[in-house]
Chains A and B, each alone.
Chain A
Amino acid sequence: MTLRPGSLAFLIIAIAALGTQGLCYAQAPTKQVYVYIDSVMAADTNEGTDPRLSPMDKKLRGLFGFSTYSLIGHIEGETSCGKMIAFALPGGKILHVQPRAIDNDMIAMEIVLFDGTRPMMTTDLKLKNNGTLIVGGPRYETGMMIISIGASTSGAQPGGTHSAMQAQVAGTPGESAAH
């Protein structure tokens, strides 16, 4: 089999074009990002797990050793790349989430957690689409606060709490705000 120079050039151009196409698709900036926040109080008061947290029960028990998990807030919002969304959480905490890019199946974002006006944590991360990040540790009432942060490009809550939770929990609605 022989390869003509024309065929070689065509092959290289075709592969390069496909690669460029994939890169453009990966960097498409217009996609919406849905952010889901569950605030959970964890304590050692032997009260078991809040039924509304049943989808997260195994995960919480696998990650932490508390005997009580109680859902204290659920909030969700929709934003887009480059646009920050702010969530007011129980205990005076404020969470800022700013998606930066959607890279393949990962959502790059910056997350800042405030205790009132004082920043507690700033992180840049890439979260898998429909994945969750858990931030925990701040003291809350008789226990500690665990914040589950989920992000999705499809609007489906990633591994989230019970669907009825939204109706049952009085959460402050997320508000979009630009820095």
Chain B
Amino acid sequence: MAECGEISVMLGAFEDSELEPNEMQEVAFHLARCESCTGILADYSTLGRNLRSISVEPKLAGFSSAVIARVERLPQPAHIRIARFFRRQMDSLGAGLAWGGAVAAAAVLTIILMTPYAEQFARKGAGSGTSVADATHEAVPAPNQIASSSGNEPTMADNDSQAVISRLESPNRSVAVWSEPRRDTTVIWLPDQP
């Protein structure tokens, strides 16, 4: 069994858990049987706690950023400054490309998912004639009773109409379709055949 003289020099390190595993075991074994060394260890512990309680920790907020800023301000060789400049540019370019790719992918997905709307918009954009795209019979001018439109008003089905006609079938060959944008109304005219 180790003597108190050998153990006492290791008590400080034991308290701080800085001994090798075999030394920790040896000190612990000795402490279990030696009241004197246990008392010394207790003194070390008390001393350590008291020292920690009275010490003032320095405020470190902003310390690291201040150090980095200080380092940044240090004069750098030209080739390092140039390399750093290009690295920043490449980072920005990479981020821009990534964002652009993301937006493009999102746009493609949206178009695919919203295809019915895309078709609707395409149909609208194709002009007034598409409102009666599949009309079976050729549209003819409306009868005399139909009020004539003023000069700048379209007389046939128009994009502003409240209706988009995709199919119109009638045995009546005189069927006519037109839209009155100001009234926001589409008219299907089916005059009685003679």
Contacts and interface: CB of A to CB of B under 8 A. Distances in A.
Interface of A: 1-3, 8, 11-12, 15-16, 19-20, 22-23, 26, 42, 44, 58-59, 61-66, 103-104, 106, 113, 119-128, 131-139, 144
B122 to A, nearest CB: 14
B128 to A, nearest CB: 15
Interface residues of B, number: 47
B183 to A, nearest CB: 5
22 contacts: A2-B95, A12-B105, A22-B113, A23-B114, A58-B183, A62-B180, A63-B180, A63-B183, A64-B145, A103-B120, A122-B169, A123-B165, A123-B188, A126-B120, A126-B164, A132-B185, A133-B185, A133-B186, A134-B186, A134-B188, A137-B143, A138-B192
A140 to B, nearest CB: 10
Contacts, number: 144
B110 A15 contact: yes
A15 B171 CA distance: 48
B95 A65 contact: no
Nearest to A4: B98
B162 A136 contact: no
Contacts of A128: 162-163
B91 interface: yes
